[in-house]
Amino acid sequence: MSDTLRIEVVYALPTTQQIVGLKLPPGSTVRQAIDASGLLRKHPEIDLTKYKVGVFAKLAKLDAALRDQDRVEIYRPLIADPKEVRKQRAAEGKVMKKGAGEADSE
């Protein structure tokens, strides 16, 4: 077992993403990685009581233990609820299509 974990902490904004590489001791948690990244100081809008976090796109708790080469992700809240947007489109008569349409059967 290695004596350090190599971790990335990522926070994406609409136009850029911040990626911070860290070396942490074994047993470090998601919260410790975020604290060590400096992203909370750089982006004071991040509120970990409201923002969700994950490891490789899977939601995780702040006290979850990390493994070597994990990627911790801080997720911003959605601007619009996708279900509500679909309802509004349906009410306006706009149809959302899945795929490229039906194949011709010959």
E strand map for 1-106: 5-12, 17-24, 52-55, 58-60, 71-75
Tokens for 23? Answer: 């070396």
pLDDT at 94: 57
**Which three-class secondary structure state does DSSP give residue 38?**
coil
pLDDT greater than 90 at residue 9: yes
pLDDT at 14: 86
Contacts of 50 (CB under 8 A, 6+ apart): 77
The pLDDT tens digits of the residues spanning 37-96 come to 999 999 999 999 999 999 999 999 999 999 999 999 999 887 767 677 777 777 777 555
CB 9 within 8 A of CB 20: yes
Q: pTM of whole model > 0.95? A: no
How many CA atoms lie less than 13 Å away from 78 in the CB half-sphere? Answer: 6
CATH number, span 5-83: 3.10.20.30
Q: Where are the domains of the chain?
A: 5-83
